Structure 1
Amino acid sequence: MWKNKNVWILLTGEFIAGLGLWLGIIGNLEFMQEKVPSDFVKSIILAGGLLAGIAVGPWAGRITDQISKKTVMLASGFARALSVIFMLIAIQTGSVWWMVIFLVFLQISAAFYFPALQAAIPLVVEEKDLLQLNGIHMNVSTLSRILGTAVAGILLVILPLSMLYIGSLAAYLILFAMTWFLNFDESDLTPGTSKGTAKQGGFKEVFPIIKGLPIVLMTLVLTLVPVLFLGGFNLMVINISELQDSSSIKGLIYMAEGIGFMLGAFIVKQIGQKRSPYTILFFFSFIIGISQLLLYFADVPVLTLVAFFVFGFAVGCFFPTAATIFQTRVPKEFHGRFFSFRNMLDRVTFQIVLLLTGFLLDAVGLQIMVVIFGILSLVMTAAFFAKFRQLRTEVQINEKIST
């Protein structure tokens, strides 16, 4: 796997783009903290971009299955770089509306880029290396997040806010250039398979595939648990910073969560050799709920960092396992539409959680909100686990009857 130049291009590109992404995210938080006083209004602004990504999701899935994954990644990468110009205008004019336009363009480009990337990864390495590559890919992303947030914090002190976005623009342009050098075989995806079916319909052809693969359906539903935490992640970070009256805690939170994620993604392959994917998903879904409850003590810096570290470790094991299940169980000719559908599902739930987080932060405060979310996560995990055991029992009964 390590002799494959495509692997190095994907990992290096992810690292550079991640730096640019997190420079932009910290810039967004700083801009909103300065211009928008209400948490709920902040959540509406962030949700506007997500809504645009949801709107183009079905089209993005069909396009990804119809044409080269590399072409989709190039076009969306260029659009992502172009979007930064709108944020520079927002800073120059002080207008939140230009920021909304920036977020809309950014999320539309992401709606195309990430399904194409997820569909391309199984074409780059053999199936036996997928879990390892997914874990490493997510680790590289997390490392770029740690460094990106640290660099952004330093730059905010010594440079104007616009310089963060200049750095972000440079990173996106480097990613665009590196994508040109990707070279993988898509000959198996012939017009009689993916391209033919892609022209006949969209998501309606993916739903029977999902329904016929219980582990895929269960994994899709179970991803709602980490999304319940991640949807309002940035708003919670801002609120914790205000609760503790500390601007430095923001960088420490991202670092603690990032280190936890990297550790989880690093050892998940070893765990996967001893435990089934089901066991990994349900166990770490439970741990995510516990980490949310720990944030009841968000006024204590040490416990705050412990909670985010535990959460990071849990999702570091959860997401590579989920990604590998999707890449190996769903037929490759449906990958574009499936990953686009999954991307849309994530965006819808992110949007709902984001608005709910903003509302609850204004209404009941951070500490009551995380207790509500933590209990909800544990209840959802228990309900999904009970349903899974019921399905497994039914399958075993049917197998005995058929024999």
Structure 2
Amino acid sequence: MWKNKNVWILLIGEFIAGLGLWLGIIGNLEFMQEKVPSDFVKSLILAAGLLAGIAVGPWAGKVTDQMNKKTVMLVSGAVRTVSVVFMLIAIETGSVWWMVVFLVFLQISAAFYFPALQAAIPLVVEENNLLQLNGVHMNVSTLSRVLGTAVAGILLVIMPLSMLYVMSLAAYAGLFVITCFLKINEPITLQNHPNKASAASTSFKDIFPIIKGLPIVLMTLVLTLVPLLFIGGFNLMVINISEIQDSSVIKSWIYATEGIGFMLGAFLVKQISLRSSPYTILFLFSFVIGFSQLLLYFANVPILTVLAFLVFGFAVGCFFPTAATIFQTRVPKEFHGRFFSFKNMLDRVTFQVVLLMTGFLLDTVGLQHMAIIFGALSLFMTASFYLRFKQLRTNVEVTNKVS
């Protein structure tokens, strides 16, 4: 796998893009802290971009299945690069509306880029290397996040906010250039597929019978809602914790610690998978995620706050590579674009709902009571899904014995 040039291009590209992304995210938080006093209004601003991504999702999925994955990644990368210009205008004018425009274009480009990337990964390596590559790819993403947030925190002290976005723009431009060198073999295309009724020329809605017919995929898809309940309001919680502890430094500690935990989880998940089934991994770490949310009841204690995010990072580091591998191996490749676009839309809807809930609850009941609500909900959802999974497995075993 490590001799594959495409693997290195994807990993280097992810690292460069991640640096640009997190420089921009820290810049967004800083800009909103200066211009927007309400947590709920902050959540509405962030939700505007997510809504745009959801709106173009079905089209993005169909286009990804119809076109070369590299082409989709290049075009969406170009749009993402240009979108940064709108944020530079927002800083120059002090207008939050220009920031909304920036977020809309950024999320539209992401709606095309990430399904194409997820569909490209199984075309780059053999199936037995997928879990390892997914783990390494997510580790590279997390490393870029740790470095990006640390560098952004330093740069905010020594240079204007606009320079963060100039560097972000340069990173996105670098990703575009390196993607040009990617070579993906796609043996099944719209033109030569033997059965066009099941190929990409059909409707986006054709993905739903596929998901329904694959119980393992459906269950994994539903279970991914648990970590999203934490991640959706992640940035707002970080801002609120910073205010509770009256510390700007805690933001960097949280992002760095959560990132380190994620990298450890993604590094060790391959070894864990040798001893445990994918569903054991998913359910176990889904429970751990709920526990980490409950720990945030002690958000006024720095060491327990850092511990909560360390535990959460490790849990999702094991959870997400396992889920991604299940999706990439069980869903037919000719439907990957539409499936990952649908998953992207589901994630964005969940993000949007959680984002609005987080903003509302932070303004009304506060972070510590919200942590109890979200933690209890995560544990209840995980327990319910686990009982449902056991019931499905028992039914399958009974059916097999009868037949």
- The TM-score, its normalising length taken from structure 1, stands at 0.99
| Secondary structure of 2:201 counterpart | helix
Counterpart amino acid of 1:146? V
Which residue number in structure 2 is paired with residue 8 of structure 1?
Answer: 8
Which residue number in structure 1 is paired with residue 201 of structure 2?
Answer: 199
Deviation per residue, 1:108-155 (Å, 9 max, x gap): 000000000000000000000000000000000000000000000000
| Secondary structure of 1:199 counterpart | coil
Alignment of 1:385-400 (within 5 A): 385-400=386-401
Which residue number in structure 1 is paired with residue 19 of structure 2?
Answer: 19
Deviation per residue, 1:349-399 (Å, 9 max, x gap): 000000000000000000000100000000000000000000000000000
Counterpart amino acid of 1:320? P
Is the aligned partner of 1:92 residue 2:92? Answer: yes
Cα distance in structure 1, aligned partners of 2:40 and 2:270: 40
Which residue number in structure 2 is paired with residue 297 of structure 1?
Answer: 298
Deviation at 1:198, TM superposition (A): 2.1
Cα distance in structure 2, aligned partners of 1:103 and 1:193: 40
Is the aligned partner of 1:280 residue 2:281? Answer: yes
Is the aligned partner of 1:118 residue 2:121? Answer: no
Counterpart amino acid of 2:284? F
Deviation per residue, 1:269-298 (Å, 9 max, x gap): 000111000100000000000000000000
CA contact (8 A) 1:66 1:194 kept: no
Which residue number in structure 2 is paired with residue 223 of structure 1?
Answer: 224
| Secondary structure of 1:198 counterpart | coil
Deviation at 1:199, TM superposition (A): 2.0
Deviation at 1:101, TM superposition (A): 0.2
Cα distance in structure 1, aligned partners of 2:360 and 2:226: 19
- Worse overlay, 186-195 or 4-13: 186-195
Cα distance in structure 2, aligned partners of 1:194 and 1:50: 35
Which residue number in structure 2 is paired with residue 333 of structure 1?
Answer: 334
Deviation per residue, 1:228-267 (Å, 9 max, x gap): 0000000000000000000000000000000000000000
Deviation at 1:227, TM superposition (A): 0.3
Cα distance in structure 2, aligned partners of 1:384 and 1:397: 20
Is the aligned partner of 1:244 residue 2:245? Answer: yes
Deviation per residue, 1:24-43 (Å, 9 max, x gap): 00000000000000000000
Is the aligned partner of 1:174 residue 2:174? Answer: yes
CA contact (8 A) 1:61 1:341 kept: yes
Deviation at 1:184, TM superposition (A): 1.5
Counterpart amino acid of 1:56? V
Deviation at 1:77, TM superposition (A): 0.2
Counterpart amino acid of 1:7? V
- The TM-score, its normalising length taken from structure 2, stands at 0.99
Cα distance in structure 2, aligned partners of 1:357 and 1:114: 25
CA contact (8 A) 1:48 1:104 kept: yes
CA contact (8 A) 2:190 2:200 kept: no
CA contact (8 A) 2:111 2:344 kept: yes
CA contact (8 A) 1:65 1:194 kept: no
Deviation per residue, 1:302-329 (Å, 9 max, x gap): 0000000000000000000000000000
Identity of aligned residues (%): 78
Counterpart amino acid of 2:381? M
CA contact (8 A) 1:189 1:195 kept: no
Alignment of 1:99-178 (within 5 A): 99-178=99-178
Q: Which runs of 5+ in 1 are unaligned?
A: none
Cα distance in structure 1, aligned partners of 2:196 and 2:109: 22
Deviation at 1:195, TM superposition (A): 6.6
Counterpart amino acid of 1:144? S
| Secondary structure of 2:274 counterpart | helix
Counterpart amino acid of 1:75? V
**Alignment size in residue pairs:** 401
Deviation per residue, 1:55-103 (Å, 9 max, x gap): 0000000000001000000000000000000000000000000000000
Deviation at 1:194, TM superposition (A): 8.4
